Amino acid sequence: MDVVKRYLLIALFLISGCSKKELESVNETSLIEKNGVYYTKDKQPYSGQVSSLYENGSIKSEWTLKNGRLDGLYNLWYKSGKKWFQKNYKDGELDGLSIFWDREEFLDTEKTYKDGELILQRCFDVDGNECECSDLGRGCK
């Protein structure tokens, strides 16, 4: 590849990287939820990052909305700061792998969804061995 083409590719890469818009982030309390769609106070569907904190200041949740609907990762933590679950959403529906941990951060349950439908569920004991899931849908029987 000659020098001119190489510099053109570098310039295009830099220009495209600079044009990306950073996702805005707001606190969950600043949004209004109606029928699974989140709106700003001026009644527009919100797109961007959302977060919330516990009273003690530790992170409670972080998630992403696109046109007011859940889209991407939804993370929730226990008050202790340990992760509770991580879910994947696409256009407001569960889609992909959802992972749940117990309060001691042991893997508890994995669920796989496609377009909101549960496809696969696996539960684990504290030693990491797969087990029969409880009737509640989380953890071992």
Residue ranges of domains in the chain: 25-131
Is the pLDDT at 134 greater than 50, yes or no? yes
pLDDT of residue 4: 53
* Lowest-confidence region among 3-17, 71-85, 107-121: 3-17
Q: Is 41 exposed, middle or buried (0-12, 13-18, 19+ CB in 10 A)?
A: exposed
Residue corresponding to tokens 């769609």: 37
Q: Which tokens sit at 49? A: 């990052």
Query: Would you place residue 93 in the very low, low, confident or very high pLDDT band (cuts 50, 70, 90)?
Result: very high
* pLDDT tens, residue by residue, 113-124: 999 999 999 999
pTM of the model: 0.77
Q: Is CATH 2.60.40 correct for 25-131?
A: no
* pLDDT of the residue at 20: 44
Task: Summarize the confidence of residues 66-95 as an average pLDDT.
Answer: 97
